[in-house]
DNA sequence: TCAATCGGATGATGCGCATTATTAGCAGTC
DNA sequence: GACTGCTAATAATGCGCATCATCCGATTGA
């Protein structure tokens, strides 16, 4: 039982070669014109197998190589309750991908937290360096922070579409636009005409995309768009009644459960009187919550795809390899900006227009 | 905007001192008889502030220092599914602690998975080295794997009590014994006499402790212990009826919801006819699940306390510091084996003995 | 006056690895 | 026989940091 780390030098000694040779064998390719005979290669591989050698990630990283560590930076706390429900699925996907890739995950929990949001500071940025690359998730505000990443050519991938910054930001997002369009289509197909959009306006990408989808679809069907954007759930419910909507599409962060309660309090049943389609999974789970119809964001898949992409970027962009540009594995433009489809959810809140309204 | 990492050498240059001096200032203590004047110290600190220097964790680690990275090794997938969100609460606590400690978390997702369980192999063990220490959570089976950790003096802490291995394993656990005793006490105080224990016998520590608590408490009250350990929920329910229990304590992994369903199917109401106390939080959450009485395991606190302990162990045990044994911060024996209290939960499944039985 | 002491700091070294520069051996060429 | 060209490998270097051994000037003690 070795009490000390097993190093390449140990392996080299056993195989009767130099440490450099071991490194070459391990890294396969030989940047310079270095060649290793098949026989030597086998001797080294055997020695590795026997000794159970595994590279020291710290050393690999320090020497400018890849450590098989990928970072995860969340702009909000990762695990605490509400966010656990939100980030959870992403992380599940990320973990799966990490397992497949044989990679460890580094959570940057050391970044300073201000007002519940984590900041990617100049100092924090330096700590990213231990990882080969980094996943970013959550709403970021200080875009200046990203400049470092761009400047230094550090590999990173956003989870969630990023329309800003002239398409320079790699991301894996969800297709909120098509998803929303499809919901309107479903409603119209059932006979709905007065379809409202419930949700606060924001400048975040999901909101922009939902609104775009709603606008486009309503226009395509020749219907009038009507927005309900009140802070207060009760007021929102009242407005829904007032406007005589037969259906509404709701952004999921708007406490749909409470909205349903308020509607019920006004004698309005879902979906008998008003259909409610959710544009994404509910953010706040509740005991005995109902089965919402609408679409769901493929969070697990997004997480996994993002990590795969990051892994590729890291392999390409690897520290000292910026020179030999195009190679068989080069990441394509299309890969850099992926938008995944949001499947429809068949819940229990969709029905033809009720007798009450209309 | 620096495109390159800022190193201690940069800081040293700005402060007009040597790199070594910067290192000394940063590490506070001066192992050898090295002294730094207050004036120089300030110059260095200023330079650090101005440059925004942060240590390169990889280099720190390689040089035998602490990288402010703590590892988390879970013997099962870390982020499975919301429905079986077991690790979630632990991670919440861990993350909180990590934030406070200013430490990053490394998840060892690269470890090979066999039959859904992660293995801590000889190779995997070497990868732990990037972190200053490691948290271990979940049921481990291959105890041989731990030998490496023990041998190499690598700092680690188990989450969950570990009775085995002669108390050499540091852990932060929960007091299942007292928790269970208190549940029996509550039941007896209400007048219950026929109190059954429902749950499969296992050799895992929680089970052993629950059984011990049940045994001790029942004995103390002069009551007869009765165990129901059937795989099948329906059969278990039948047995409960058969035995004319007025109350049962149930290990939470035994699908209490389904058990309640089965009881209801037999005309037995909870808690009117049978009180049911859960010995820990339910493992499988369910929509509209009921509010169980019993006790809860302080998972978040366990996670946090474990990380704090690990942090201290790492600081003490730090790579090259094994010599100067006792120091003001030395970890005490008591800290190495913590057992946290499990608070009672006032749910809706506890009531005096019903009229049906007895 | 010279050695011993001490405060204050520097130089050198190595951690384990990736990579570049260099060497050794050998077959073929003019 | 000196030269080229090629294969197969090694030596040497540096990544950024912690640490040990050393050094220098100024006191101090005898």
Spell out the per-residue pLDDT of chain B, length 358, in tens.
Answer: 456 789 999 999 999 999 999 999 998 766 667 788 889 999 999 999 999 999 999 999 999 999 999 999 999 877 766 656 788 889 999 999 999 999 999 999 999 888 888 988 888 888 999 999 999 998 877 777 787 788 888 999 999 998 777 678 999 999 999 999 999 999 999 999 999 999 998 888 999 999 999 999 999 999 999 999 988 999 999 999 999 999 999 999 888 999 999 999 999 998 999 999 999 998 777 766 789 999 999 999 999 999 999 999 999 865 444 434 335 567 888 889 999 999 999 999 999 997 554 4
Mean pLDDT calculated for residue range A153-182: 91
**What class has domain A69-154+299-340?**
alpha beta
Residue A325: the pLDDT is: 38
Asked if the model's pLDDT at residue A55 lies above 90, the reply is yes
| Listed range (A141-155, A194-208, B181-195, B317-331) with the worst mean pLDDT | B317-331
| pLDDT grade for A140, boundaries at 50, 70 and 90 | confident
Spatial separation of the C-alpha atoms in residues A2 and B262, rounded to whole Å:
55
Q: Is pLDDT larger for residue A35 or for residue B128?
A: B128
Task: Quickly name the fold that domain A8-54 has.
Answer: 434 Repressor (Amino-terminal Domain) (1.10.260)
Asked if B54's CB is within 8 angstroms of A58's CB, the reply is no
- Of residues A79, A88, A126, nearest to B6 (C-beta): A126
Asked if the model's pLDDT at residue A319 lies above 60, the reply is no
| Listed range (A18-27, A80-89, A229-238, B100-109) with the worst mean pLDDT | A80-89
| pLDDT grade for A283, boundaries at 50, 70 and 90 | confident
Counting Cβ atoms within 10 Å, is residue A95 exposed (0-12), middle (13-18) or buried (19+)? buried
Residue B84: the pLDDT is: 64
Chain A, nearest residue to B52 by Cα? A123
Residue to test with chain A: of B7, B58, B69, most A Cβ within 10 A: B58
Q: Which residue has the tokens 């969800």?
A: A174
- Of residues B62, B109, B289, nearest to A95 (C-beta): B109
Q: How close does chain A come to B22, measured CA to CA in Å?
A: 17
Asked if B130's CB is within 8 angstroms of A110's CB, the reply is no
Nucleic acid strand D: bases within 7 A of protein CB: 7-12, 14-22
Asked if the model's pLDDT at residue A2 lies above 60, the reply is no
Asked if the model's pLDDT at residue A78 lies above 60, the reply is yes
What are the chain A neighbours of B56 within 8 Å (beta carbons)? 62, 126, 129-130
Q: How close does chain B come to A149, measured CA to CA in Å?
A: 9
Chain A, nearest residue to B88 by Cα? A79
| Listed range (A215-229, A276-290, B187-201, B242-256) with the worst mean pLDDT | A276-290
Structure tokens at A205: 């990408």
Residue B326: the pLDDT is: 39
**Any idea which nucleotide's C1' is nearest the CA of A60?**
C17
Alpha helical stretches, state H, chain A: 8-15, 19-27, 38-51, 57-62, 81-101, 122-128, 144-152, 176-190, 205-220, 233-242, 256-265, 299-317, 333-336
Q: Which residue has the closest alpha carbon to D14 C1'?
A: A63
Mean pLDDT (chain A) is: 88
Q: Quickly give A33 CA vs D9 C1' distance in Å.
A: 11
Same fold: B8-54 with B176-297: no
Residue A146: the pLDDT is: 82
Q: How close does chain B come to A109, measured CA to CA in Å?
A: 5
Architecture of domain A176-297 in CATH? Answer: 3-Layer(aba) Sandwich (3.40)
Residue B1: the pLDDT is: 44
Asked if the model's pLDDT at residue A142 lies above 80, the reply is no
Q: Quickly give B35 CA vs C5 C1' distance in Å.
A: 15
Spatial separation of the C-alpha atoms in residues A276 and A268, rounded to whole Å:
12
A176-192 pLDDT per residue, tens: 999 999 999 999 999 99
Please state the length of chain B.
358
Residue B321: the pLDDT is: 45
Residue A331: the pLDDT is: 83
Residue to test with chain A: of B2, B57, B80, B320, most A Cβ within 10 A: B57
Chain A, nearest residue to B288 by Cα? A288
Spatial separation of the C-alpha atoms in residues A256 and A254, rounded to whole Å:
6
Asked if B96's CB is within 8 angstroms of A104's CB, the reply is no
Asked if the model's pLDDT at residue A241 lies above 60, the reply is yes
Residue A103: the pLDDT is: 97
What are the chain A neighbours of B110 within 8 Å (beta carbons)? 68, 98-99, 101-104
Domain ranges of chain A: 8-54, 69-154+299-340, 176-297
Spatial separation of the C-alpha atoms in residues A131 and A67, rounded to whole Å:
7
Chain B, nearest residue to A59 by Cα? B62
- Of residues A62, A96, A285, nearest to B62 (C-beta): A62
Residue to test with chain B: of A76, A79, A84, A94, most B Cβ within 10 A: A79
Chain A, nearest residue to B289 by Cα? A287
What are the chain B neighbours of A124 within 8 Å (beta carbons)? 54
Asked if the model's pLDDT at residue A265 lies above 50, the reply is yes
B182-226 pLDDT per residue, tens: 999 999 999 999 999 999 988 889 999 999 999 999 999 999 999
Q: How close does chain B come to A225, measured CA to CA in Å?
A: 35
Architecture of domain B69-154+299-337 in CATH? Answer: 3-Layer(aba) Sandwich (3.40)
Q: How many CB pairs under 8 A join A and B?
A: 172
B51-67 pLDDT per residue, tens: 999 999 999 999 999 99
Query: 3-state SS string over chain B?
Result: CCCCCCCHHHHHHHHCCCHHHHHHHHHCCCCCCCCCCHHHHHHHHHHHHHHCCCCCHHHHHHCCCCCCEEEEEECCCCCCCHHHCCHHHHHHHHHHHHHHHCCEEEECCCCCEECCEECCCHHHHHHHHHCCEEEEECCCCCCHHHHHHHHHCCCEEEECCCCCHHHCCCEEEECHHHHHHHHHHHHHHHCCCCEEEECCCCCCHHHHHHHHHHHHHHHHCCCCCEEECCCCHHHHHHHHHHCCCCEEEECHHHCHHHHHHHHHHCCCCCCCCCEEEEECCCCCCCCCCCCCEEECCCHHHHHHHHHHHHHHHHHHHCCCCCCCCCCCCCCCHHHHEEEECCCEECCCCCCCCCCCCC
- Of residues A54, A85, A96, nearest to B126 (C-beta): A54
Spatial separation of the C-alpha atoms in residues A55 and B125, rounded to whole Å:
11
Asked if the model's pLDDT at residue A123 lies above 60, the reply is yes
């Amino acid at each position: 039982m070795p009490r000390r780390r097993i190093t390449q030098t140990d392996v080299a000694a056993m195989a009767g070669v130099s440490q450099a040779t071991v490194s070459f064998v391990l890294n396969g390719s030989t940047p310079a014109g270095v060649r290793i005979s098949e026989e030597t290669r086998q001797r080294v591989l055997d020695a590795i197998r026997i000794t159970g050698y595994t590279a020291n990630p710290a050393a690999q990283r320090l020497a400018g190589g890849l450590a098989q560590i990928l970072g995860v930076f969340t702009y909000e706390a990762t695990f605490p309750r509400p966010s656990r429900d939100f980030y959870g699925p992403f992380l599940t996907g990320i973990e799966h991908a990490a397992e497949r890739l044989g990679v460890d995950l580094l959570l940057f929990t050391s970044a300073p937290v201000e007002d519940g949001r984590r900041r990617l500071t100049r100092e924090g940025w330096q700590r990213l360096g231990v990882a080969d690359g980094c996943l970013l998730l959550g709403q970021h505000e200080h875009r200046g922070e990203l400049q470092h990443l761009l400047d230094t050519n550090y590999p990173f991938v956003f989870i969630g579409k990023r329309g800003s910054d002239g398409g320079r930001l790699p991301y894996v997002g969800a297709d909120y636009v098509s998803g929303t369009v499809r919901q309107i289509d479903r409603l119209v197909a059932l006979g709905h005409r007065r379809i409202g959009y419930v949700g606060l306006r924001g400048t975040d990408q999901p909101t922009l995309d939902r609104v775009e989808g709603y606008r486009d679809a309503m226009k395509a069907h020749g219907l009038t768009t009507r927005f309900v954007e009140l802070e207060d759930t009760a007021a929102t419910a009242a407005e829904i009644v007032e406007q005589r909507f037969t259906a509404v599409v709701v952004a999921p962060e708007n406490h749909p459960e409470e909205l349903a309660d308020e509607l019920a309090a006004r004698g309005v049943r879902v979906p008998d009187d008003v259909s409610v389609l959710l544009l994404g999974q509910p953010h706040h789970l509740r005991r005995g919550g109902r089965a919402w119809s609408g679409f769901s964001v493929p969070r697990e898949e997004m997480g996994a795809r993002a990590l795969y992409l990051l892994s590729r970027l890291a392999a390409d962009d690897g520290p000292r390899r910026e020179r030999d540009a195009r190679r068989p594995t080069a990441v394509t433009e299309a890969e850099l900006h992926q938008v995944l489809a949001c499947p429809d959810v068949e819940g229990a809140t969709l029905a033809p227009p009720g007798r009450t309204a209309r």
